[in-house]
Structure 1
Amino acid sequence: MPTSSLFANLPLDGLSPELLRAARWIEAHPREVALHSMRECARRAALAPATLSRLSQALGFQGFEAIKHLCQESFSAQAGYAGRAEVLQASARHDKDWLALLNETQHANTASVSGLNQAAQLEAAADAMLKARRVYFLGLRASHGLALHLHYTYGLLASNGVLVQGLGGTLTDQIGEMGTGDLLVATSAAAYTRQTVDAVVTARAQGADVLTLTDSALSPIARSATHTLLFRTDSPSYFHSMVGALALTEALAAAVAVRGGRKVLVYLQTRQDRLDSEGAYWDERADKVATGRPLTSSPRK
């Protein structure tokens, strides 16, 4: 919310000269309000701290911290990563419980998955993945780990998954392979990676369906998508949170397991048997037998 909107519906001519001066100072100095305590803001504005408290009540807030929070949101949105990091540092100085706020936000992002997406939407997306000739997983920059995780977990259930990596400058080559019968699963959040947006447009133009995992139904990768699933990226830190996005990928993988029937169960068992036979996962007992080391025994008493 821009700081000017704080005062949009307030009859400023009804304020005392002192409160009016305080309101105008806040509107002109949102950065200072975002970064400093009420007492420091009052000092810089040559006002009494009580004046800022009274102004907060006049605006309908319980206290100055509410105004401060709105100024932080406005400043962070405009300032980029460095500005958001500066706000985080300032918040930590004035509120030592910054970790609790971070945890609270991450819990909300995770919980939002079920609020933003109905089970029927997840199941429809899962059906599209299972029916596709090939399922391409694309995530660039911060979203790459999500695509990698979803590709891996999906690959335990079905054999038609392809991770789009673009190694050696081959991203456009992989996108160019997509066509009718294929599905591109693209993940991105603001600020949206241009190559991901271009890949979605190209895939659709070539006849492929597109499933997007994104932070807004209005995002550029959702506009031409066949299916869209949403996640939240709220964070008090300098970088948007991907916790909600990870929760969404896990929900989608679970939906594939739910909708895959007997076929995915057989395939999953085959994959598990292969991993076990290859010794993919560390096993203390098997490792010691293979190397001739003695097994751990209970200590003598």
Structure 2
Amino acid sequence: MAHEFNMKLTPQEEWSWLLAVDLFLGGMGGGLFLLFLIFNLSPSIAVLSLGLVALGAVVLMVELGRPLRAWRALCKPFSSWISRGVIFVTLFIVFGALYSAPAFDSLSWLAPGSDTARRTIGVVAGISALFVTLYPGFVLAASPSIPFWNSPLLPVLFSFHSLMVASGLIFLIAPLGLESADLRSISFLGGILIVVNFVLGAMYLATSKGSGLASKEAVRRLNEGSLGWTFKVGVILVGMIVPLAVVLWTPSAMALAGLFILIGGLLFRYCVLKAGVYVPFPLT
């Protein structure tokens, strides 16, 4: 039986700034905790990461529309990436708090009974933090009606972008007391992350451009009009090229580079959401 299709390409309008803020805060918090573990940073960095993820969870509950019923998001872990994401966030906050709290004198009573127990808690917290950076990409990739999001590259891109944004936050707060040796190591990693994200983003756009009419239209939206300016100037120039130049040639301005990375990180999530276009649907 032949079908007629509605060939009008309709941009999605359900998700916009509020979800972009949630993805930004949660991803940055998860990435920050991973950097805390990798570089053995101050426990205050871990506390900040927990606060960012918790704040992102609050924003998500507001986005869901009925905060008092948000617990229902836990009820479908076998079929819903949002449900899995809530579980990852909960595990991260619990085990991240257990891992970092004993570093503060007033909370030393929370210290695990042995080094093995503490290492185990740290591993669980680290794995949970990794999935906090990954799951937003899986949430979007599980949307077959929007082919631009329906890509296995998206979770990887979101995770690496979260690490880049977390490094930007460290650049921004470094003047508050970060050890210079730690800053040098993180700035080196931050430069690598900018390059990796640029390459992953180019791959994502290239594959999306060849993935059908709706996906091709999404890429066009990222290159033209007001969204195109936001993407090219805000995400690429301000969020990546300028910070990379600062990291390479003007390390004394790292705080400014960090601010630019944060701006680009938020705009990246907004652009990915706003670029989404529904696949044409059959009329008969």
In terms of fraction of residues, the more strand-rich structure is 1
Q: TM-score, normalised by structure 2?
A: 0.28
Q: TM-score, normalised by structure 1?
A: 0.26
Task: Compare relative contact order (CA 8 Å, sep 6+) and give the higher one, 1 or 2.
Answer: 2
